[in-house]
Amino acid sequence: MTGPYVDLSDSLNFVNGYPHEFFTWLREHEPVYWHEPTAATPDGEGFWVVSRYDDVNAVIMNPKTYSSDKAGERTGGGTAIKDEVSAGRVLNQTDDPYHRRLRDLVNKGFTVKAINALEEELSRRTARLVEDLKAGEPFNFAERVSREIPTQAICIVLGVPESDRMMLCEWVEAGIEKPSGSVISLDYVKKIRSYAQTLIDDKRAHRGDDIFSTIVHAEFEADGSSLNDYELRSFFSLLFPAGAETTTRSISGGLLAFLEHPEQWQRLQADPTLIKTAVEEIVRWTTPSVYKRRTATTDTVLSGRNIRAGDKVTFWEMSANRDDAIFERPFEFDITRSPNRHIGFGAGVHFCLGAALARLELSIVFATLARSGLALELAGEPEWVPNNRLVGLKNLPVRVAAKA
Ligand code: HEM
C-alpha cells in the first residue's frame, strides 16, 4: 500500500474518533483493501476492508456469499474482526434459515405497537432529566444524559427491575472499555448470562407486560415450541451492546454535532417538525456501529479484487455513510438532508431489530432538549472510547450557559 496506513484492528487508533481521512483515501484508491494481520488480530489472519457504499451494500445484501456465521473449516466466524465464540449461536451471528427462525420469534415482541407504548415513559424520564440540568458547573453529558435513556429503554424492553438497571449498564461499560480489539470481555459475558437466566426463569413463572416476556412465551406456529434458555440468554446478552451502547453513542455524537454546528441547532429549535430528518442525519453522522465482518463462503470477486472462501470481509458503514458517490456534501451535518440513504442501521436480513426504538429515543431526547430552550456549550475537550467497533464519546464536557 502506498497511501496512509492505520491499523484498524487496534482500538487505540480510534481514541480521537473515526479515522475519516484514511477511509476517504481508501474509498478513492483501494475500495476493497487487504489489511495484513497485526498484533491485535490474534487469529493470525488478515482481513478485507470494504469502504464504498455500493460495495458495502453488495456484501450486506448477499448473505449466501458473505456469511455472518462460520464459513467452513478455516475460520471461526462472527461479526467482529476477531473470531467470536458466539458465532452461529446469537441472532446477529447466524445465517438463514436458523437466523430467520430466531428473528421471526423476536419480531413477535418488537412490534410497532409495543415500541410506541414506550413513548410516554421515555418522554417522562427525558423531561425529568432535562429539567435537572442547571446552569453552572460543567458535567459529562455522555454519562449523565446520553446513557440514561437507552439504558432505561432496553431495560424496560427486557423487563429488568429498576433496581438492577445501572448495575447491568456498568458491566456492559466495563466490558466495552477494554482496548483489546474485542467488543465484549468474557467476564462481562458470564455475569450478564447468569443474570439473564434468573430473569428468564422469573418471566416463565410470571409473565410480565414487557417485550422480553412476550418473546419468552412466544411459540413457533409450526410446532408450538419456544426459544430455549440458551437462545434467550444469548438474545438478552446481545441487546445491551446492540441497543444501549449504540444509541448512547448516537446521542452524545449528535449533541457534539449540534454544538459544532450551532446553526443546525437553531434550525431545529425554530422548526420542531425537522426532528425526523434530524434523527436520520444524526444516525448517518455518528454511525456508532462502524463496521461489521462477514466470512466469504466461496471464492468471489468484489470491485476487481479476488476474495477467497474463508476470508474475513469487514465492511465499514461509517465509511459508506460518508461516500460522496451517494451523499452530497457528506462531511456536512445537515438536519434537512433528504433523501438520506444512510446504512447506519445496516440493511437486508440483519437490518437493525431496534431501529424503531432507537429512532424513538433519539427523537424524544433531541426534541425535548430543543424545546427546553437550554443553551448548552462545550466545556472541555471531548474524549473517545478506545474501541474500533462501537465508536463514540466517553466524555462530553458540557455546561448549561443559560435559558435561550
Ligand atoms: C442508533 C442506534 C443503533 C444503531 C446505529 C444500530 C445499528 C445496527 C446495525 C448496523 C445492525 C446490523 C448488524 C449486521 O449487519 O450484522 C444492527 C442489528 C441489530 N440491532 Fe441495532 N442499532 C441501534 C439500536 C438498536 C437498539 C435500540 C436495539 C434493541 C432494542 C438494537 C438491536 C439490534 C439487534 C438485535 C440486531 C441484530 C439483528 C439481526 O441480526 O437480525 N439495535 N443494529
Tens digits of residue pLDDT in 140-178: 999 999 999 999 999 999 999 999 988 887 777 666 554
306 belongs to a structural domain: no
The CATH code of the domain that includes 166 is: 1.10.630.10
pLDDT tier for residue 322 given thresholds of 50, 70 and 90: very high
| Across 328-341, average pLDDT | 98
Candidate of 94, 246, 390, 391 to mutate for ligand 1, largest count of ligand atoms within 8 Å of Cβ: 246
pLDDT at 181: 45
* % pLDDT > 90, the chain: 78
Does 210 fall in a domain?
A: yes
Residue 160: inside a domain: yes
Listed in order, strand segments (DSSP E) in 111-253 are 139-140
Is 345:318 a contact under the CB 8 Å cutoff?
no
User: What pLDDT is attached to residue 243?
Assistant: 87
Number of separate domains in the chain: 1
The pLDDT, as a whole number, for residue 179 is: 44
> For residue 232, how far is its CA from the centre of ligand 1 (angstroms)?
17
Q: What's the CA gap between 217 and 222, in Å, rounded?
A: 15
Domain assignment present for 387: yes
Tally of CB atoms within 10 A around 219 = 12
What would the pLDDT profile of 66-111 be if each residue is shown by its tens digit? Answer: 999 986 666 689 999 988 888 888 999 999 999 999 999 999 999 9
Do the domain assignments include residue 249? yes
Which residues does ligand 1 sit against, CB inside 6 Å?
60, 68, 79, 91-92, 103, 154, 157, 238-239, 242-243, 246-247, 250, 283, 288-289, 292, 317, 344-346, 350, 352-354, 357-358
pTM of the model: 0.95
Residue 157 located in a structural domain: yes
H helices then E strands: how many in the chain? 16, 12
Q: What is the mean pLDDT of the chain?
A: 92
Residue at 61 is within a domain = no
Q: Is residue 19 part of a domain?
A: no
Instruction: Tell the burial category of 134 from Cβ atoms under 10 Å away from its Cβ (0-12, 13-18, 19+).
Output: exposed
Q: How far is the CA of 93 from the centre of ligand 1 (A)?
A: 12
Cell numbers at residue 359, please?
Answer: 429512532
Range of the domain at 134: 82-290+333-403
